[in-house]
Homo-oligomer: A and B are copies of this chain.
Amino acid sequence: MPVAASGKLTLSEEQVQRIAKALADARRYEILKKLSARKAAIPCSEMLAGAGISPATLSHHMRELELAGLVLAEKDGKFVRYSLQQPVLRAYLDRLKADLA
Protein backbone atom coordinates (compact mmCIF):
# COMPACT_ATOMS: atom_id res chain seq x y z
CA MET A 1 0.00 0.00 0.00
CA PRO A 2 2.23 2.79 -1.19
CA VAL A 3 0.91 6.28 -0.81
CA ALA A 4 0.22 8.25 -3.98
CA ALA A 5 2.84 10.74 -5.09
CA SER A 6 3.43 12.73 -1.96
CA GLY A 7 4.59 10.63 1.03
CA LYS A 8 7.59 8.37 1.31
CA LEU A 9 6.70 4.73 1.41
CA THR A 10 7.41 2.75 4.52
CA LEU A 11 9.24 -0.53 4.24
CA SER A 12 8.45 -3.45 6.46
CA GLU A 13 11.27 -4.95 8.47
CA GLU A 14 11.10 -7.99 6.25
CA GLN A 15 11.36 -5.94 3.08
CA VAL A 16 14.36 -4.08 4.44
CA GLN A 17 16.12 -7.39 4.92
CA ARG A 18 15.10 -8.59 1.47
CA ILE A 19 16.48 -5.44 -0.10
CA ALA A 20 19.72 -5.69 1.84
CA LYS A 21 20.19 -9.29 0.71
CA ALA A 22 19.32 -8.38 -2.84
CA LEU A 23 22.02 -5.70 -2.82
CA ALA A 24 24.57 -8.04 -1.26
CA ASP A 25 25.16 -10.02 -4.41
CA ALA A 26 27.57 -8.60 -6.97
CA ARG A 27 25.61 -9.81 -9.97
CA ARG A 28 22.35 -8.34 -8.74
CA TYR A 29 24.11 -5.10 -7.98
CA GLU A 30 25.36 -4.94 -11.56
CA ILE A 31 21.89 -5.67 -12.86
CA LEU A 32 20.50 -2.82 -10.83
CA LYS A 33 23.21 -0.49 -12.03
CA LYS A 34 22.33 -1.35 -15.60
CA LEU A 35 18.65 -0.75 -14.96
CA SER A 36 19.45 2.52 -13.26
CA ALA A 37 21.65 3.77 -16.07
CA ARG A 38 18.85 3.38 -18.56
CA LYS A 39 15.45 4.92 -18.49
CA ALA A 40 13.61 2.23 -20.44
CA ALA A 41 12.73 -1.22 -19.17
CA ILE A 42 15.11 -3.96 -20.23
CA PRO A 43 14.16 -7.50 -21.23
CA CYS A 44 15.95 -10.52 -19.80
CA SER A 45 17.40 -11.43 -23.15
CA GLU A 46 19.30 -8.19 -23.33
CA MET A 47 20.59 -8.40 -19.78
CA LEU A 48 21.71 -11.91 -20.53
CA ALA A 49 23.96 -10.79 -23.34
CA GLY A 50 27.47 -10.43 -22.03
CA ALA A 51 26.53 -11.08 -18.44
CA GLY A 52 28.28 -14.42 -18.31
CA ILE A 53 25.52 -16.29 -16.56
CA SER A 54 22.92 -18.79 -17.65
CA PRO A 55 19.28 -17.88 -18.28
CA ALA A 56 18.30 -19.90 -15.21
CA THR A 57 20.61 -17.91 -12.98
CA LEU A 58 19.43 -14.62 -14.38
CA SER A 59 15.83 -15.62 -13.83
CA HIS A 60 16.64 -16.48 -10.25
CA HIS A 61 18.24 -13.11 -9.63
CA MET A 62 15.38 -11.20 -11.23
CA ARG A 63 12.99 -13.07 -8.99
CA GLU A 64 14.93 -12.02 -5.91
CA LEU A 65 15.01 -8.41 -7.05
CA GLU A 66 11.30 -8.47 -7.71
CA LEU A 67 10.54 -10.04 -4.33
CA ALA A 68 12.55 -7.26 -2.75
CA GLY A 69 10.42 -4.77 -4.63
CA LEU A 70 13.44 -3.24 -6.30
CA VAL A 71 12.33 -4.01 -9.83
CA LEU A 72 9.03 -4.23 -11.63
CA ALA A 73 8.39 -6.96 -14.20
CA GLU A 74 6.16 -6.25 -17.16
CA LYS A 75 5.26 -8.90 -19.65
CA ASP A 76 5.35 -7.79 -23.25
CA GLY A 77 4.70 -10.64 -25.62
CA LYS A 78 7.62 -13.00 -25.62
CA PHE A 79 9.63 -10.68 -23.44
CA VAL A 80 9.64 -9.73 -19.80
CA ARG A 81 10.91 -6.24 -19.26
CA TYR A 82 12.27 -5.08 -15.96
CA SER A 83 12.53 -1.59 -14.64
CA LEU A 84 14.08 -0.17 -11.48
CA GLN A 85 11.67 0.89 -8.76
CA GLN A 86 13.42 4.02 -7.63
CA PRO A 87 10.95 4.93 -4.86
CA VAL A 88 11.68 1.63 -3.11
CA LEU A 89 15.38 2.21 -3.40
CA ARG A 90 15.04 5.71 -2.05
CA ALA A 91 12.92 4.45 0.82
CA TYR A 92 15.66 1.96 1.62
CA LEU A 93 18.30 4.67 1.62
CA ASP A 94 16.14 6.80 3.88
CA ARG A 95 15.64 3.87 6.18
CA LEU A 96 19.35 3.20 6.48
CA LYS A 97 19.96 6.84 7.19
CA ALA A 98 17.26 6.94 9.83
CA ASP A 99 18.34 3.72 11.52
CA LEU A 100 22.10 4.06 11.38
CA ALA A 101 23.16 7.57 10.60
Which of A44-52, A53-61, A73-81, A83-91 lies on the face that meets chain B?
Answer: A83-91
Q: How far is the CB of A23 from chain B (nearest CB, A)?
A: 5
Report how far A36 CA is from B97 CA in the complex, Å: 10
> How many chain-A residues does the 8 Å CB contact rule pick out?
21
Query: Could you tell me the distance between the alpha carbons of A43 and B33 in the complex, rounded to whole angstroms?
Result: 38
Q: At the interface, yes or no: A96 with Cβ under 8 Å from chain B?
A: yes
A33 touching B99 by the CB < 8 A rule? yes
Give every chain B residue within 8 A of A32 (Cβ-Cβ).
99-100
With contacts A17-B24, A23-B24, A32-B99 known, what are 5 further pairs, Cβ within 8 A?
Answer: A17-B29, A21-B24, A32-B100, A84-B100, A89-B101
